[in-house]
Amino acid sequence: MLKIANLRATVDDKEILKGLNIEVKPGEVHAIMGPNGSGKSTLSNVLAGRDNYHTTDGTVLFEGKDLLTLAPEERAREGVFLAFQYPVEIPGVSNLEFLKTSLECLHTHQNKPLLSAVEFMKLAREKCKLVDLDTDFLKRGVNEGFSGGEKKRNDILQMLMLEPTLCLLDETDSGLDIDALKVVADGINALRSPDRSFVLITHYQRLLDYVQPDFVHVLVDGQIVKSGGSELALELEEKGYSWLESGTEQPANSLKA
């Protein structure tokens, strides 16, 4: 499904990702954990295709396609979804209009029949219920005046509507109270299926109490320094990251040909 090999990326000429390798197979849930500044957000931004993030080396294959050559909207249409760390507010564009446009773009690309207005509303209402958002939210501007938790739940609502094949969640759990966290986790679990994969980027073990990962990776200074099963997350919760950081002293950046 997703194969990241030797990925190097810079932000403002500063190298953040320094040869990152991960492989995600269909149906798997991977958690990427790591201390502040280790490159977690850079990874999700590179995968989503944000400007200002430049890859200097390595490949990212999504279902065999070179993800890095695709525009952000093309990635989404192929089935990649990023839940944002900080979902933006877009006053004046209603959630409904946004969801409808988005879904139409995806369905058109995927040669699926477009939903009628009635079908769409039924689906939207149903998914709203799943993430515990009142349907009134659909009429409001995208994230406009939403609380932090509502914004995150709105991202999960979009994920439920768009049914991506690869879901990247960038610290979706941060800033959530325990009830909202459960809602988010339920949303993820509702989507789990043998042909859908998840990459959860997170600081804390908390979310992983509700969404059991198949693999846990530790990202330190732009590289995966340790991988393991879900028990690794518990170990990290207990010991912190320092024991891993000290053990992986990097040589000075090697000169590239």
Partner 1 sequence: MNNLNAITTDFTAKQQPDKNAWLQTIRDAASERLTSLQLPTKKTEDWKYLKLEKLLASEPIDTESIKDLEAKSVNDINQLLAQSLISSLDAYRLVFVNGVFVSELSQHNNNPYSVLFSEASAAQQELIVAHLDTSHNYYHDYFSSLNSEQFEDGLLIHIPMDCHVEKPFYIVNLTLGEQPKTHMMRVLVVAETGSNATIIEHEDAPLKHTGMVNTVIECFVNDQAKITHSRIQLDESVTSICSHRVQQGRDSIYQQHQISLGAKLKRNDLTVSLQGEHAKTDIRASFYARDQQTIDNHTCLEHIVPNCTSNEVFRGLVDNEANAVFNGRIHIHPDAQKTLAELSNKNLLLSDLATINTKPELEIYADDVRCSHGATVGQIDSEALFYLQSRGISKVEAKRLLSMAFIAEIVGQLTEKSVQEFVTQRLSSLFSSLQYEGEK
CA angle at 48 for the pair 169 and 213, rounded to the nearest 5°? 30
Selected from 34, 39, 58, 87, the binder of partner 1 by CB under 8 A is 87
CA–CA distance, 225 with 247 (Å, rounded to integer): 9
> One-letter amino acid identity for 78?
E
Q: Which stretch binds partner 1 (CB under 8 A): 19-27, 71-79, 202-210, 234-242?
A: 71-79
- Shortest spacing between CB 247 and partner 1, in angstroms: 36
Size of interface with partner 1, in residues (CB under 8 A) = 30
**Residue 5 or 11: which CB sits closer to partner 1?**
11
Which residues between 24 and 53 bind partner 1 (CB under 8 A)? 48-51
| C-alpha–C-alpha distance, residues 51 and 168, integer Å | 18
Q: In whole angstroms, how far apart are CA 231 and each of 2, 75, 257?
A: 23, 32, 40
90 binds partner 1 (CB under 8 A): yes
Determine the interface stretch with partner 1 among 14-22, 27-35, 74-82, 177-185 (rule: CB under 8 A). 74-82
**Sites for partner 1 among residues 123-142 (CB under 8 A):** 141-142
Looking at the Cβ atoms of 93 and 121, the one nearer to partner 1 is 93
Tell me how far, at minimum, the Cβ of 257 lies from partner 1, in Å. Answer: 33
Q: Is 187 in the site for partner 1 (CB under 8 A)?
A: no
| 148-162 helix and 95-109 helix, angle to the nearest 10 degrees | 30
Q: What does the DSSP assignment read for 16-78?
A: EEEEEEEEE-TT-EEEEE--TTSSHHHHHHHHHT-TTEEEEEEEEEETTEEGGGS-HHHHHHH
Region from 103-111, 119-127, 172-180, 200-208 binding partner 1, contact rule CB under 8 A = 103-111
The separation between the first and the last C-alpha atoms of the chain, rounded to the nearest angstrom, is 31
Is 229 an interacting residue with respect to partner 1 (CB under 8 A)? no
DSSP state of 196: B
**Closest distance between partner 1 and the C-beta of residue 46, in Å?**
13
Minimum separation from the CB atom of position 107 to partner 1 (A): 9
Query: Cα 232 to the chain's mean position, in Å?
Result: 20
Q: Which stretch binds partner 1 (CB under 8 A): 102-110, 111-119, 123-131, 199-207?
A: 102-110
Quote the tokens at residue 189. 């679990």
**Best CA proximity match to 7, nearest among 56, 58, 53:** 58
Binding partner 1 (rule: CB under 8 A), the pick from 17, 43, 82, 157 is 82
Binding site for partner 1 (CB under 8 A): 48-51, 71-73, 75-77, 81-82, 84, 87-88, 90-93, 97-98, 101-102, 105-106, 109, 141-142, 158, 162
